[in-house]
Amino acid sequence: MLKGNFIDNLPKVYGIYTGGFLAFIIIMAIAEQMGMSAKAIGICFVAFTVAIYAIIGYLSRTAQADAYYVAGRQVPTVFNGMATAADWMSGASFVAMAGGIYFKGYGYMALLVGWTGGYVLVASLLAPYLRKFGCYTVPDFIGTRYGGNLSRLMAVIVLTVASFTYVTAQINATGTIASVALDIPFQYAVYVGLISILLCSMLGGMRGVTWTQVAQYIVLIIAYLLPVFWISNKMGAGFFPHFMLADEVSRIAELEAQFGFVKNSAENLKEVPKGLAGITKAHSAVNATPWAFISLALAMMMGTASLPHVMMRYFTTPSVKAARKSVGWSLFFIFLLYSSAPMLATLSKLSLIDPSLPTGIIGKSIAEVQAIDWYQNWNQANLMFVSDFNGNGTLELNEFFMGGKAVVLATPEIAGLPYVISGLVAAGGMAAAMSTADGLILAIANALSHDLYYKIIDPKAETAKRLVVARVLLVVIGFAGATIAAMEIQGILGSVIWAFDFAMSGLFFPLVLGVWWKRANREGAIAGMALGLISGAGYLIWVRNGGSGFLGITQLTFGIFGSAVSLVSMVVVSLITAEPNAATQKMVDEVRVPSGKSILGKQH
Amino acid sequence: MSKQAQHWEKTRGLLMVTLAIWFVFSIGIFLFGAEMNEVTGPFGYPLTYWFTCQGSLGIFVILIFWFANRQEKIDEEFGFSERGDD
């Protein structure tokens, strides 16, 4: 069936895979009609997709350093784009984003702009140059450009802080989905999720992660778009929701004006289970100050350009030219999901609050709502809640509460779609969280094994030994992440945003200036990374402990302060110390042109 | 000026243009979010709302591909493009 090498056959391989997955969905739909239980369908979806990823992970096993660290640098642009999109879109994007837009409206949409605009910075400032450099990891670039073990070590520290903050949230998300779909307790489900994650990355490193991420992207995008289109058509809102929901958006504004946003008393809110929210902000009106919106978007954009698990995806392309194009494809594939999230939020909100729709619950009697099947299901899962605060017997807008996750997870059921769609959504969420967790764990383990162990501790280690160390670290970090995730300290979304702020505080300017400012030297970079990370973290701790903050910088945007400190200290320290030596300056010149040999050799 | 310096000057010029466009659609327009939202945008959505849902996002995608093509032209012009395919 397949002739020639694997890379040439990629379109065919993934074409067959996509067809097979669609056939699987149809088989499940038929099975549902024949009486298969909802629980069995959920288990089938998650088990089947995870098994496929594990097989891909096994087939991608390797014993070579460049295959393990950078997938042999032969991933074609479009496929690298898909892999990056899966790497990028986490459990938070998949499960929490539409919910965030649903509840917070405009202020929250700064994240949509920030999480896409950052790719312009990646493409123009960094990715092609780091690809030319030929590094295996982000600290590899810092350590070689600035020289010295201390700069390399600082980069490893920043990378670990940012990525570890991020990864616990992703393992948490895989655990949540596994526990719902497989019906097992969360504490165990976390480890089921972790083992699935490790199956993809352990044997093949970056190569295994690349090919599973492409497979995961296909699952997650089908799982996100199919329900959006289906619900839109079922509601009669338009066959292509993205272009046709203007009437629905204005209808929501009309209903909001009619119901009004009644503020609940603190006493009433005590009744509401933790983590659930009511609709308190207008859907499409501008309800945040320009600075609140812009500062959040800016923090996310700079964070995007500093997160190592994204950057290292562009180390896998065959050329510098391909790295640039690949960033465009990445953003295109991300755009497909991100532009659909507001549409899902719109459809979900309208279907619940419009009294003229059969699914609308606002204005119905409380008893009637409490008797609805799906309400009981999701209430039991602690994701939905109603209470008659004013005692008039009917449900008002301010008396309805929902968890953010429910917008994605429950809307198909509320809209009356068959259960097979809910199973598909669970598989999609699992794919999104797994792919990001894989990228992050690999980024941390690679930095520790390549930069800390091989470059600093034991530069004479043989390839086989290096790869054993890399794999042991992968497992250790995975278990550490899962253990913290099992404690359920923080929510999914908050810790994701913190990760961006940590990354930009410590890494944005040392990376960018490493390419764009020849005068930047070792002392400056070390100061920039250390002071940036410390001041960012300090600001976060201060605000968390009741500090008032300044300039409107909140705990979600502390990276703006951290990176400003990083920039100033890096420039000042660079200028008062000696300029980099001639060899380093020549290296920067070479990084700036795409042609010629990379700075670091193929095997290093 | 050496070939390499000229190449870098053009590259920097392209960066400035790219970042200027990026700035307008990621930050600039949102300074006037409230005013702009009074206007009806494409497909009938309020304008600022449309930019946050689709407009800015789509412009970023196009901008990156445009940037990549321009940069390739600059590299070719000075003979710095890589041999081989992508």
Residue A492 is predicted with a pLDDT of 62
Tally helices (H) and strands (E) across chain B.
4, 0
From B30, B54, B81, residue closest to A339, measured CB to CB: B54
Q: Specify if B6 maps to a domain.
A: no
Helix or strand holding residue B71 (H, E): helix B56-77
Highest CATH level, class, for A79-263+275-349+417-591 = mainly alpha
pLDDT digits (tens, 9 = 90+) for B35-47: 888 888 888 888 8
From A123, A246, A318, residue closest to B64, measured CB to CB: A123
pLDDT digits (tens, 9 = 90+) for A519-535: 999 999 999 999 999 99
- With contacts defined as CB-CB under 8 Å, which chain A residues touch B63? 120
pTM of the shown model = 0.92
Confidence band (pLDDT; 50, 70, 90) for A216?
Answer: very high
Residue B86 is predicted with a pLDDT of 43
From B32, B44, B72, residue closest to A246, measured CB to CB: B44
Instruction: Tell me which of A129, A316, A593 to substitute to probe the interface with B (most B C-beta atoms closer than 10 Å).
Output: A593
Query: Residue B85: pLDDT above 70?
Result: no
Tell me the angle at which helices A106-121 and B56-77 cross, rounded to the nearest 10 degrees.
10
Pairs across A and B, CB distance < 8 A: 156
Instruction: Tell me which of A108, A113, A248, A296 to substitute to probe the interface with B (most B C-beta atoms closer than 10 Å).
Output: A113
From B31, B34, B86, residue closest to A322, measured CB to CB: B86
Interface touch A293/B46, C-beta < 8 Å: no
What rounded mean pLDDT belongs to chain B? 88
What rounded mean pLDDT belongs to chain A? 87
The CA-atom distances, in angstroms, between A199 and each of A178, A202, A446, A540 are: 15, 6, 16, 35
Q: What string of DSSP letters covers A361-429?
A: -TTSBHHHHHT-HHHHHHHHTTSEEE--TT-SSB--GGGEEEETTHHHHHHHHHTT--HHHHHHHHHHH
Instruction: Tell me which of B61, B63, B66 to substitute to probe the interface with A (most A C-beta atoms closer than 10 Å).
Output: B61
Confidence band (pLDDT; 50, 70, 90) for A1?
Answer: very low
Interface touch A328/B27, C-beta < 8 Å: no
Interface touch A332/B61, C-beta < 8 Å: yes
Shortest distance between the Cα of A184 and any Cα of chain B, in A, equals: 37
The total number of structural domains in chain B stands at 1
Interface touch A298/B15, C-beta < 8 Å: no
Choose between A142 and A485: higher pLDDT.
A142
Shortest distance between the Cα of A446 and any Cα of chain B, in A, equals: 26
Residue A81 is predicted with a pLDDT of 94
Q: Tell whether A310 lies on the interface with B, counting CB pairs under 8 A.
A: no
- CA B41 distance to own-chain centroid: 21
Residue A188 is predicted with a pLDDT of 83
> Which residue ranges make up each domain of chain A?
79-263+275-349+417-591
Q: Find residue A421's DSSP bridge partners.
A: none
- Residue A557 identity: T
From A120, A242, A294, residue closest to B30, measured CB to CB: A294
- With contacts defined as CB-CB under 8 Å, which chain A residues touch B11? 592
Query: Residue A547: pLDDT above 80?
Result: no
Q: Exposed, middle or buried by CB within 10 Å (0-12, 13-18, 19+), for B84?
A: exposed
Q: Specify if B5 maps to a domain.
A: no
- Residue B64 identity: I
Contacts 24+ apart (CB under 8 A), A574-583: A574/A517, A574/A519, A574/A520, A574/A521, A574/A523, A574/A524, A574/A525, A575/A519, A575/A524, A577/A521, A577/A523, A577/A524, A578/A521, A579/A519, A579/A521, A580/A146, A580/A518, A580/A519, A580/A520, A580/A521, A580/A522
* C-alpha–C-alpha distance, residues A407 and A95, integer Å: 8
Interface touch B57/A113, C-beta < 8 Å: yes
DSSP state of A491: -
Interface touch B4/A589, C-beta < 8 Å: yes
Residue A122 is predicted with a pLDDT of 94
Averaged pLDDT for residues B50-73: 93
Interface touch A117/B26, C-beta < 8 Å: yes
For residue A132, what is the nearest residue in chain B, using CA coordinates? Answer: B82
Q: Specify if B3 maps to a domain.
A: no
Q: Specify if B84 maps to a domain.
A: no
pLDDT digits (tens, 9 = 90+) for A418-475: 889 988 998 998 899 889 988 888 888 888 888 887 888 788 888 888 888 888 888 8
Residue B83 is predicted with a pLDDT of 66
Interface touch B60/A324, C-beta < 8 Å: no
Residue B65 is predicted with a pLDDT of 96
Interface touch B56/A339, C-beta < 8 Å: no
Query: Residue A2: pLDDT above 60?
Result: no
Side-chain-facing half-sphere of A298: CA atoms under 13 Å: 23
Confidence band (pLDDT; 50, 70, 90) for A28?
Answer: very high
Query: Residue A195: pLDDT above 90?
Result: no
Averaged pLDDT for residues A324-329: 94
* C-alpha–C-alpha distance, residues A198 and A201, integer Å: 5
Query: Residue B84: pLDDT above 60?
Result: no
Contacts of A57 (CB under 8 A, 6+ apart): A199, A200, A201, A202, A203, A204, A208, A212
- Residue A570 identity: M
- Which residues 50-109 of A are in CB contact (within 8 Å) with B? 76-77, 106, 109
Averaged pLDDT for residues A4-20: 85
Confidence band (pLDDT; 50, 70, 90) for A488?
Answer: low
pLDDT digits (tens, 9 = 90+) for A73-132: 888 899 999 999 999 998 878 888 888 888 888 888 999 999 999 999 999 999 999 998
Q: Where in the sequence is the domain holding B60, given as residue range(s)?
A: 14-77
Query: Residue A244: pLDDT above 90?
Result: no
Interface touch A116/B68, C-beta < 8 Å: no
From B14, B27, B60, residue closest to A331, measured CB to CB: B60
Interface touch B33/A286, C-beta < 8 Å: yes
Confidence band (pLDDT; 50, 70, 90) for A489?
Answer: low
Interface touch A285/B46, C-beta < 8 Å: yes
- With contacts defined as CB-CB under 8 Å, which chain A residues touch B55? none
From B30, B72, B84, residue closest to A290, measured CB to CB: B30
Interface touch B58/A335, C-beta < 8 Å: yes
